[in-house]
Structures are given as C-alpha cells and as structure tokens.
Amino acid sequence: MKLSIFNGSPRYKASNTKILLEKFTTGFMETPGNCFELAYLSVGDHQAGKKLFKESEAVIIAFPLYADSMPAKVKIFIESLKEFKGKKTNPQLGFIVQSGFTEGANIAFLEKYLKKLCVKLGCFYLGTIAKGGVEGIQVMPPSMTKKLFADFTELGRIFGRTEYLDKTIISRMKLPYKFSPLMYPVFLLMKITGLADWYFTSWLKRNTAYENRFDKPYKKVAIAQSPEPK
C-alpha cells in the first residue's frame, strides 16, 4: 500500500504528533510491500501536497486539537482539496487527532466534521484516531507511555495488513470520554497545589514569557482600532 501522511502540527519535527506517527508507521511497515511518504503542512507547499494526495492509495492527516478544531495550516490544506470533490480516484482518508485535554469528548465534534468532509470529497472514510492526554508525552517516563505507544504501533500494524483502522482500539483510546464528578476534588487540589499548571508554567519560564502570562494584546488592538465616538 502507498500511504501518504500529512503532519499538521505547527511544532513541526518537535511535535507530539510526530512521535505518535513514528509508532504508527513502525507497525505499518511490518507488512512487506508497504511504503509511506511523510509531509509537514507547517512548511510544505500545497501544490506538492495535493499531488501527493492524488497519487496515494490512502492518506492520513494527523494534527493536534487547536481551539476545539485544527491548526490553520491544516484547515487551509483541507480547503485546497476541493478540486478533488467527487473524483472516483480519490484515496481512502483517515485522521489522527491528539489533544492535551484528557477527555475524549473534546474531540467528538471535530470527528463529526472530518467524517462529513470525507463524504463531501467522496473519499472512503477510514476513521479518526482520537487520543487525549498527549501533551506531556515528551516528558513522561516510559512506563506512562508504553500502552499508548503500543496501541499506535498495533493500529499501524493492523492497518498495514488489512487497510482498516481497528475500531476496538480506536474506541478504547477515546476513554475517558468524560471525567466522573468524583474527580473534581482531585482537580481542585491539583489547582491549589500548582500541579495542574507546572508543565505550562515551565514552558512560559523557558521562553521568558512567564511575567507576561496575563497580557491581553488583542484587547489593546481592539481598543486602538475602535472608532472615535461622534
């Protein structure tokens, strides 16, 4: 099978999406005759991307959840595919969406959009691998990522062999879909102790932005551009 993968993360090669794709393709390549090409939407050329899309048997677009949707470059690329609408030679199309939020419910509405997109394009919908709680995988010990990485490798292995994304594994990855109310006191304690913010705080400090964390630059722009009262 000739598979094309589009990594839509703005973080390019430093992304969590890249790590998950490496596990997926490891399993995929276990089947003799399979090959794949990886393209990065954050630096890529849309014309080259469309050519790759056209020449593939199957395509997977992978990206992180951004503001309950997708990064702008992913949306722009998707809109550029409108010329393929209804073509019988279109590839099979699937998606990998990862989120920092743990609950699978955060990705549910986007998943509906992606399925509808396949219908509009006339592509066979392979499915959407939706996984929350991914943001910290680059700093987690191996014991915490072992199951996640194994699942992505197995998904790639099964897909490489059958051309289908395993629904059982996909369903399991969406859990927990929503947290139980019993978890609220735990999150409150994490907030009070600072454990809930330590990862983002460390990145803010690393980028010398911690002191500016409450800035509202867009509010200043809106005020500056507001018309003068008559």
> Comparing 90 with 136, which gets the higher pLDDT?
90
pLDDT exceeds cutoff 70 at 150? yes
Q: Which fold has domain 2-173?
A: Rossmann fold (3.40.50)
pLDDT tens for each residue of 181-199: 888 888 788 888 888 788 7
pLDDT, one tens digit per residue, over 75-85 is: 999 999 999 99
Say which residue the tokens 């099964």 belong to.
158
Please determine, for residue 141, whether its predicted confidence score (pLDDT) is greater than 60: yes
Secondary structure of 210-226 in HEC code, one letter for each residue: HHHCCCCHHHHHHHHHC
- Integer Cα distance of 136 and 145 in angstroms: 10
Share of the chain above pLDDT 70, in %: 95
* Ranges of each domain in the chain: 2-173, 181-225
Residue 29 banded pLDDT, cuts 50, 70, 90: very high
Distances (CA, A) of 131 to 40, 66, 75, 114, 173: 20, 14, 20, 15, 6
- Which residue, 128, 132, 134, 112, is CA-closest to 166? 128
* Choice between 43 and 22, residue whose per-residue pLDDT is larger: 22
What one-character-per-residue DSSP string does the chain give? Answer: -EEEEEE--TTGGGSHHHHHHHHHHHHHTTSTT-EEEEEETTT--HHHHHHHHHT-SEEEEEEE-BTTB--HHHHHHHHHGGGGTT-TTPPEEEEEEE-SSS-THHHHHHHHHHHHHHHHHT--EEEEEEE-S-TTTTTS-HHHHHHHHHHHHHHHHHHHHHSS--HHHHHHHT--SS--GGGHHHHHHHHHHTTTTHHHHHHHHHTT-GGGTT--HHHHHHHHHSPPP-
pTM, rounded to two decimals: 0.85
Instruction: Specify the amino acid at residue 195.
Output: L
pLDDT interval class at 227 (50, 70, 90) = low
Identify whether the C-beta of residue 44 lies closer than 8 Å to the C-beta of residue 7. no
pLDDT at 200 over 90: no
**178 in Cβ contact with 101 (< 8 Å):** no
Q: How confident is the model at residue 100 (pLDDT cuts 50, 70, 90)?
A: very high
Per-residue model confidence (pLDDT) at position 222: 59
* Mean pLDDT of the region 146-151: 98
How distant, in Å, are the alpha carbons of 20, 69, 98 from that of 64?
A: 11, 9, 5
149, pLDDT greater than 70:
yes
Q: Give the Cα separation of 116 and 55 in Å (integer).
A: 22
What average pLDDT does the segment 160-168 reach? Answer: 97
pLDDT for residue 11: 93
Percentage with pLDDT > 90 across the chain: 75
Q: What is the mean pLDDT of the chain?
A: 92
Please tell me the predicted confidence (pLDDT) of residue 225: 60
